[in-house]
Amino acid sequence: MKNVSKYERGYFTPPVKSTKWMEKEYIDAPPTWCSVDLRDGNQALIIPMSLEEKLEYFQLLVDVGFKEIEVGFPAASETEYAFLRALIEQNLIPDDVTIQVLTQSRDHIIEKTFEALRGAKKAVVHLYNSTSVAQREQVFRKTEEEIIKIAVSGAKLVQKYAEKTEGNFQFQYSPESFTGTEMEFALEICNRVLDVWQPSENNKVIINLPATVSMSMPHVYASQIEYMIDHLHYSDNVIVSLHPHNDRGTGVADAELGMLAGAKRVEGTLFGNGERTGNVDIVTLALNMYSHGIDPKLNFEKLPEIKKIYERLTRMQVSQRHPYGGELVFTAFSGSHQDAIAKGMNYKEEKPESKWSVPYLLIDPKDIGREYEGDIIRINSQSGKGGIGYILKQHYGLELPLEMRESFGYAVKDVSDKNHQELQPAQIHDIFTENYVNISSPIEFLGYKFMNFDDYKTIVHVRENGVDRVLEATGNGRLDAISQALQAHLGIEYTNLIYKEHALESGSESRAVSYVGVTAKDNQVYWGCGIDPDIMTSSVKALFSSVNKIVKVIGKTEMQNS
């Protein structure tokens, strides 16, 4: 692209090597989660939530299991203020949930913030000011020392108003635009704030290090976090928090590597809602941990319901391919994927005690409220025999022989391709029924009778072109005897009869389903299916179905006298 020369890396690496995080392979415990849906998420909506909607959303976050929830910037607007007061006055904040409020480093804003917090049982007061080179030079036009003065002044004001206000307050500081700040300066301003607040074991301070704008690859952010943790004052009593945005599409990776670097707290939103490309998605982060066998301490067992509420209140839509929550994330259309999933699901049924390792499915969809039927395998012209067979088995109890699945698969794909559409299970079943089940034309099966069970002599009654006929033959089994009768007296030639049967439903009134495949003189295998309460009759109907397909495609040889 022609304008590439106007860009350069705008981030800063630590002045010392900070790569201990690389020695860790996985996250072994969840962080403290802080939802910022009601602040960062809400301010990014085209239509911000009303007071009633915010109250409902707050309850959703509580139900999911968040113990820290940023509820807004109470000095910024009347709705923000009223929302906080409603939570407190209506006693809507559970005892184990801490609310968080945001404030700039300005006297009247901090005063209004503490006024709004009157009566709160426990709250985090989140102070921030921008520290990046771009903000210092272009927005504030201030020196480093002047920027530090803003932060220190704010820290003192927060401490002053906290002492005058009844309540239990924890302090948090964010060097906003941290990722565009020189690491030495970011460290200095955080330490100057910590020197004002002087955290202790019983009064820990949160230092939040936001990727306000994601500017680097995730490993750089991890090294920045590690450097800060290693050099912050009062480190034993400081909780380092992350607040990644997703400008480069790496919000989740930034958070995960930041946790490897030692951060113990993460601020984010459901499904990543937020300014520009959004905040880090806590749903994805939490379920990534879950997929490694780590309990994230958040409950997404009813994720479709959570998504429905989220979409209604935010008026945002979760992408169909969004990790875990998207409509299609567990769905396979590709034939090879479907075949592997179907076999993996069957293997899991055979060995239910085994750990989850179904191909292409990172977690069990049912664990987050998704259903196998309609969620995992869906059929279009790209689908394969394995997936199509899986649909018939799951929805209709039909277990097609492996050899038959290929024949039926082509029939289904042909319909999907010609109509240029996805096929629903009922449509697939209709195609199967129409092309394979109890086919009675041009030769209709009317009945049979065995004369001698020693040599399986049989009499078969058929109707062809309105004419009833009686056929006789002997075989090495009942189905073979009927097969010999059809070939001998109706001029039909085939070899290599393949047969399979199973019960279609359980119980005393269950029906039997039989599948028969035969090889005609054109060397093609023709399949038929028979369904009947009587297992023998279902077998005969399956044979007639396959024979009728031969007659329709290649015709018959010269009729013999019966």
**Are 381 and 237 in the same domain?**
no
pLDDT (0 to 100) of residue 260: 98
Contact 125, 103 (CB under 8 A): yes
Within a domain: 320: no
Confidence of residue 374 (pLDDT cuts 50, 70, 90): low
Domain presence at residue 505: yes
Between 504 and 429, whose confidence is greater?
429
**Does residue 321 form part of some domain?**
no
- 10 located within any domain: no
Q: How do residues 252-307 score in pLDDT, each as one tens digit?
A: 999 999 999 999 999 999 999 999 999 999 999 999 999 999 999 999 999 999 99
- Chain centre to alpha carbon of residue 52: 29
Q: What is the model's pLDDT at position 452?
A: 66
What confidence tens digit (pLDDT) does each residue in 509-529 have? 679 999 999 999 999 999 999
Q: Is the domain of 295 the same as that of 393?
A: no
Same domain, 377 and 474: no
For residues 298 and 359, state if they share a domain: no
- CATH classification at residue 517: 3.30.160.270
Residue that finishes a domain, picked among 314, 344, 368: 314
My answer on whether 298 and 367 are in the same domain is no
Whether the upstream peptide bond of residue 244 has omega within 30° of 0, thus cis, is no
User: Cβ(123)–Cβ(170) under 8 Å?
Assistant: yes
Annotated ligand binding at 254? The verdict is no
* Gap between the Cα atoms of 547 and 527, Å rounded: 8
**In this predicted structure, what is the pLDDT of residue 335?**
73
In a domain, 499, yes or no: yes
Say if residue 221 is in the same domain as residue 102: yes
Nearest-CA neighbor of 45 among 278, 222, 266?
278
Looking at the fold, whether 417 and 465 belong to one and the same domain comes out as no
Structural domains counted in the chain: 3
Residue 28 within any structural domain of the chain: no
Residue 546 domain boundaries: 443-554
Average pLDDT for the chain:
92
Tens digits of per-residue pLDDT, 100-115? Answer: 999 999 999 999 999 9
Residues 6+ positions from 327 with CB-CB distance below 8 Å: 320
Residue 14 and residue 260: Cα distance in Å, rounded? 17
Domain identity same for 138 and 184: yes
CATH code, 108: 3.20.20.70
Predicted confidence band at 156 (pLDDT cuts at 50, 70, 90)? very high
Answer yes or no: do 255 and 290 share one domain.
yes
208 among the known binding-site residues? no
pLDDT-based confidence at residue 506 (cuts at 50, 70, 90): low
In this structure, is residue 8 part of a structural domain? Answer: no
- The pTM (predicted TM-score) of the whole model is 0.83
Same domain membership, residue 461 and residue 393: no
Q: Is 279 annotated as a binding residue?
A: yes
Does a structural domain hold residue 96?
A: yes
Looking at the structure, do residues 132 and 253 belong to the same domain, yes or no?
yes
Looking at the fold, whether 342 and 459 belong to one and the same domain comes out as: no
SS3 content of the chain, % helix, strand, coil (to 5): 45, 20, 35
Q: Which of 71-85, 502-516, 548-562 has the lowest mean pLDDT?
A: 548-562
Tell me the C-alpha distance between 73 and 103, whole Å: 6
